[in-house]
């Protein structure tokens, strides 16, 4: 994403630790959504009395998407991500093997494995690199009810039962979707599509595009204008902001556990947390080393949204309007497509810089340097390590974890 601050490692600085937190690669819809999309297409076929204009292709369209699994595009996306990480941190990566963890869902584990393939392939091509042993070891933390996992939220009942994100989306859908729905119903007479149906047809554009082996845009993409796609992006942003991020009273708390693990890695001190951390794994050097220089964790978009909130990356963003679309400039760079797309990644860098006896920290989200407001970042986006850690008092005190069980 575009960065107001040069994303290159600052001149005179050396990266001494690099952490990536990554979303899995592009996938098919979830099982529930793919069943709903298939049913919608079938309903259109059975009820439409005409397929007019740009909608004519739907007459012969067949829904063939799977459920939950990575697409070939998503697999390659993660290979590319591993190459990118190696290239950026080559000074360390050419001689150090990253410590890798993954949430337990199949698509996340596969993404992590594909990432390691890209990293290792880049290392093999580097004639100056030291040989290593592949495949790399990886810690996989199961996902499920009652399992402590900082890469997968599920332990806060008050948060899990909330529908704030869905409610915000529903409000904005009533603003932007009706003209789209009316146009679709005019071109598909007899279908009586709802606003939710119209948004589902918009969903098929990205899902079909990333599922196409030839990289061809889905014909569903052309049914909507550029302005409507900006509204769709904002609709998704509302879901993340109010469902999992700063817009939810307990959103930032869901990221507290990972942030406390990050503090432990940056300071090489034991994890101090009583929220979502797996204390058995985090208490062992084999499953949570404190002396690694490269870390790679793999998770989901919703979990990353909570981590970003716990870190305060977008705390300068005003509450998003449920009725008026705002662009990324107005939201301080917060948008679903800018923060947690398929293959999204946050880099946290610890730096040793000439002329400064203190180590520094920088954070990048999808190549965009995030100004660290809480610790008073300098013009290059850096904060001294101790000030960065001090700025995370919310996470270090457990956030609002006590409210999870009220």
Q: How far is CA 332 from CA 196, 229, 254, in A?
A: 28, 20, 22
* 24 classed as catalytic: yes
- pLDDT recorded at residue 209: 96
Indicate whether this model's pTM tops 0.85.
yes
- pLDDT recorded at residue 320: 97
- pLDDT recorded at residue 241: 98
Spatial contact of 295 and 287, defined as CB atoms under 8 Å apart: no
- pLDDT recorded at residue 181: 98
Residue linked to tokens 């109010």: 242
Q: Reduced to 3 states, what is the DSSP secondary structure of residue 102? A: strand
Residue linked to tokens 């948004």: 199
Sequence-separated (6 or more) residues with CB below 8 Å from residue 321: none
Confidence of residue 215 (pLDDT cuts 50, 70, 90): confident
Please give the Cα distance from 55 to 223 (Å, whole number). 7
pLDDT at 133 over 90: yes
Rounded mean pLDDT, 21-50: 98
Q: How far is CA 273 from CA 255, 264, 290, 323, 338, in A?
A: 11, 10, 15, 38, 29
> What value does the mean pLDDT of the chain take?
97
- pLDDT recorded at residue 187: 98
Rounded mean pLDDT, 13-18: 98
Rounded mean pLDDT, 180-198: 98
Please give the Cα distance from 305 to 321 (Å, whole number). 18
What count of Cα atoms within 13 Å lies in the side-chain half-sphere of residue 120?
A: 14
Rounded mean pLDDT, 177-204: 98
Catalytic residue among 24, 120, 153, 248: 24
135: cis peptide before it, omega within 30°?
yes
Confidence of residue 145 (pLDDT cuts 50, 70, 90): confident
Nearest to 152 by CA among 97, 210, 118, 106: 106
Nearest to 253 by CA among 363, 49, 396, 384: 396
Portion of the chain with pLDDT greater than 70, in percent: 100
Pair of tokens at residue 124? 């093999």
> What are the two backbone dihedrals, phi and then psi, of residue 214, each rounded to the nearest 5 degrees?
-95, 0
Q: Which domains does the chain have, with CATH numbers?
A: 13-27+75-161+253-313+340-405 (3.40.50.1240), 31-68+167-228 (no CATH)
Helix, strand, coil shares, percent, the chain, to 5? 45, 10, 45
Alpha carbon 202 to its chain's center? 20
Q: What is the DSSP letter of 125?
A: H
More confident residue, 216 or 300: 300
Strands of 72-122, DSSP E: 99-103
pLDDT at 144 over 90: no
- pLDDT recorded at residue 214: 78
Portion of the chain with pLDDT greater than 90, in percent: 97
- pLDDT recorded at residue 212: 87
Alpha carbon 297 to its chain's center? 12
Please give the Cα distance from 5 to 368 (Å, whole number). 8
pLDDT at 213 over 80: no
Q: What H or E segment, with its residue span, contains residue 119?
A: helix 106-125
Rounded mean pLDDT, 311-326: 95
Considering only 23-32, 138-147, 182-191, which range has the smallest mean pLDDT?
Answer: 138-147
Pair of tokens at residue 391? 């700025």
pLDDT at 253 over 90: yes
């Amino acid at each position: 994403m575009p960065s107001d601050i040069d994303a290159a490692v600052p001149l005179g600085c050396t990266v001494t630790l690099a952490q990536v937190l990554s979303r899995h690669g592009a996938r098919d819809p979830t099982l529930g959504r793919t069943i709903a999309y298939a049913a919608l297409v079938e309903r259109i076929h059975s009820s439409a009395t005409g397929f007019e204009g740009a909608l004519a292709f739907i007459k012969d369209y067949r829904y063939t998407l799977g459920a939950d699994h990575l697409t070939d595009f998503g697999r390659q996306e993660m290979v590319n991500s591993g190459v990118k990480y190696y290239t950026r941190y080559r000074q360390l990566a050419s001689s150090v093997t990253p410590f890798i963890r993954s949430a337990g869902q199949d698509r996340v584990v596969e993404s992590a494995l594909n990432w390691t393939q890209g990293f290792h392939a880049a290392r093999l091509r580097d004639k100056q690199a030291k040989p290593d042993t592949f495949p790399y070891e990886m810690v996989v933390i199961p996902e499920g009810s009652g399992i402590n996992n900082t890469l997968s939220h599920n332990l806060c009942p008050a948060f899990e039962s909330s529908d704030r994100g869905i409610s915000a989306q529903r409000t904005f859908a009533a603003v932007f979707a009706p003209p789209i729905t009316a146009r679709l119903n005019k071109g598909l007479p007899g279908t009586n599509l709802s606003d939710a149906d119209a948004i589902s047809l918009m969903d098929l554009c990205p899902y079909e595009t990333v599922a196409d082996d030839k990289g061809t845009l889905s014909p569903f993409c052309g049914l909507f204008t550029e302005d409507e796609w900006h509204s769709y992006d904002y609709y998704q942003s509302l879901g993340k902001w109010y469902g999992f991020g700063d817009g939810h009273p307990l959103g930032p708390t869901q990221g507290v556990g990972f942030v406390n693990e990050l503090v432990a890695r940056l300071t090489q001190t034991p994890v101090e947390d009583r929220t979502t951390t797996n204390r058995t794994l985090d208490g062992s050097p084999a499953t949570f080393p404190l002396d690694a220089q490269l870390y790679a964790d793999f998770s989901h978009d919703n979990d990353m949204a909570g981590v970003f909130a716990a870190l305060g990356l977008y705390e300068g963003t005003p509450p998003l309007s449920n009725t008026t679309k705002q662009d990324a400039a107005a939201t301080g760079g917060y948008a679903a497509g800018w923060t947690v797309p398929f293959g999204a990644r946050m880099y946290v860098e610890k730096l040793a810089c000439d002329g400064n006896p203190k180590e520094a920290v920088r954070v990048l989200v999808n190549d965009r340097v995030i100004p660290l407001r809480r610790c008073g970042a300098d013009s290059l986006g850096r904060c001294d390590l101790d000030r960065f850690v001090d700025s995370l008092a919310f996470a270090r005190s457990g956030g609002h974890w006590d409210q999870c069980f009220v």
